[in-house]
Structure 1
Amino acid sequence: MISGLGLINVYQFFRDVKKMEEPQWLKDRMAKEDPNFVIATCGEDGSSELCAETLNLFAGVYGAEAGNIALKVLARGGVYLGGGMSPKLLKTLQNGTFRKAFLDKGRLSPLLETITVRVILDQSCALLGAAAYAESRAAEFSGMSERAASRHQ
């Protein structure tokens, strides 16, 4: 549910099961454009109640799962949200729904209050991380790191 595919499923749930109105202009945009982009844009700017409700539920589930993971790994250094969705949903992630669900862990809530949550805005972050990992693995096999070698010249 916490993915691009999940977002459209939540939208369809509100539209089809909860019978929220999907105006014709929104239906047209959903047919012509990337549905996730439309939901994110129209939910963030408030032009569609259906999209805003979709993002609100998405943020709540995202926050709850992020809180679960933070507890599982005891993320004392913080939780960093990456990927394609988080940077596009900053307004939604900051409206309180995410944080409330993140902290809703009963007697463990005070521990989560000490853990910061940040959104990674750099779209190349995953590639940089993969490159750093590849370099470190190569250094294990070769006994030398290209980055370390360039610092000693």
Structure 2
Amino acid sequence: MILAGDIGGTKTVLALLDRGADGLLTCVREQTFASGEYDSFDEVLALFLPENAKIAAACFGVAGPVVDQRCFATNLSWTLDGEELKVQLGTERVRLLNDLEAMAVGMLYLNPDDFIELNPDAEPQSGNIAVIAAGTGLGEAILYWDGRRHHPIATEGGHCSFAPQNSQQEQLLRYLRGLYPRHVSCERILSGIGFSNLYDFLLENQFAPACPAVPSAAESSHGSGVDRNAVISRLGIEGEDALCVEVVRLFVEIYAAEASNLVLKAFATGGVFIGGGIGPKIRSAMENGAFMQAFSAKGRFQPLLGKMSVKLALNQRTPLIGAMHYYSAD
């Protein structure tokens, strides 16, 4: 059997799969755990695995950097060690992946209807693929093309420095330096908290009056019970408040610019996969043409980027699917 997992700060999803004679995988068991309720990953494994389960291979996507097959899970007190898991599970085929690595693999196994093509002028071709995902944080990965198949490469590109593209974004950078004087990364904008950061910036710069439905930063910090970021993005998408509409527009503009930065660094002629939880929630703003306009605004490389496939993934199980299929080539 194959053991697969998607391990995050909020929840951990484990799946046990059987490979049939035809090579197809069948899910035998799947369970979701609230990560914060357990002191270690070992506790979760013990609850999930049936007695005497024979594991042939195991792969886990983990929210955190994986170094030498060891990972201290972000936002958890868990440490996962690949060598220890090999002994525990009784197999040499154990692999820890960064969650974006797992997502990148999973993208290759999604159905066509799990994607929305954002570029009406796309001319698909082979090559490396860039993977970017805004959610709780900003994740970035690369699918390297060797001429026959793709291989996932982890990065921590979401923590690279934010580079403004126009005068408004230059003002934004100055504002964010006041909040984060040591370093302003792209993740400070392209993540859940980014909606609040953009809202507060625009409010300070008097773009529009404050929205009565949005809790103030002070109220939010004292536990108002309302997801401020979700309220801002929803009002922006629904067009109910001018300030929130501009937040979403600016978010999309910066998201697109960072996506094409990753494309150029990876020379991802195979296109872009956009994952994470935020993209599908602001789908209408991603599809209205503004994303592709900002994505292709790279001077002499506009002709290349203007023909590139840019796909928004709608399936939120992609990291788990990637972990399930990591050993499928064996």
Q: Is residue 12 of structure 1 aligned with residue 200 of structure 2?
A: yes
AA of the residue aligned to 2:262:
I
Mapping of residues 39-50 of structure 1, within 5 Å: 39-50=232-243
Give the match for residue 131 of structure 2. none
AA of the residue aligned to 2:194:
G
- After superposition, the CA RMSD in angstroms is 2.1
Q: Is residue 130 of structure 1 aligned with residue 323 of structure 2?
A: yes
Q: Is residue 107 of structure 1 aligned with residue 310 of structure 2?
A: no
SS in 1 for 2:213: helix
CA deviations on 1:23-67 (whole Å, 9 max, x unpaired) are 323348x74421221112111110011111001111000000111
Asked whether the equivalents of residues 82 and 121 of structure 1 are also in contact (C-alpha less than 8 Å), the reply is yes
AA of the residue aligned to 1:131:
M
CA distance in 1, matches of 2:279, 2:295: 15
Give the match for residue 263 of structure 2. 70
1:61 to 224, 247, 254: 254
AA of the residue aligned to 1:23:
C
Give the match for residue 142 of structure 1. none
Mapping of residues 131-146 of structure 1, within 5 Å: 131-133=324-326, 135=327, 145=330
Runs of 4+ displaced beyond 4 Å: none
AA of the residue aligned to 1:105:
K
CA displacement at 1:9 relative to structure 2: 0.4
The number of residues matched between the two structures is: 137
Q: Which structure has the bigger radius of gyration?
A: 2
AA of the residue aligned to 2:293:
K
1:3 to 188, 191, 200: 191
Q: When the two structures are superposed, what TM-score results if normalisation uses the length of structure 2?
A: 0.39
Mapping of residues 19-98 of structure 1, within 5 Å: 19-27=207-215, 31-98=224-291
CA distance in 1, matches of 2:281, 2:291: 14
Q: Which one has the bigger helix percentage?
A: 1
Give the match for residue 126 of structure 2. none
Q: When the two structures are superposed, what TM-score results if normalisation uses the length of structure 1?
A: 0.80
CA distance in 1, matches of 2:227, 2:215: 12
CA distance in 1, matches of 2:286, 2:260: 14
CA deviations on 1:81-131 (whole Å, 9 max, x unpaired) are 100111101111122221111000111110111211111100101221133
Asked whether the equivalents of residues 59 and 92 of structure 1 are also in contact (C-alpha less than 8 Å), the reply is yes
SS in 2 for 1:67: helix
CA distance in 2, matches of 1:96, 1:21: 27
CA distance in 2, matches of 1:93, 1:129: 24
CA displacement at 1:19 relative to structure 2: 4.9
Asked whether the equivalents of residues 42 and 52 of structure 1 are also in contact (C-alpha less than 8 Å), the reply is yes
Q: Which one has the bigger strand percentage?
A: 2
Percent identity over paired residues = 39
Asked whether the equivalents of residues 207 and 243 of structure 2 are also in contact (C-alpha less than 8 Å), the reply is no
Asked whether the equivalents of residues 75 and 115 of structure 1 are also in contact (C-alpha less than 8 Å), the reply is no
CA distance in 2, matches of 1:6, 1:129: 27
CA displacement at 1:6 relative to structure 2: 1.6
The runs of 5 or more residues in structure 1 that have no matched partner are 140-144, 146-153
The runs of 5 or more residues in structure 2 that have no matched partner are 1-188
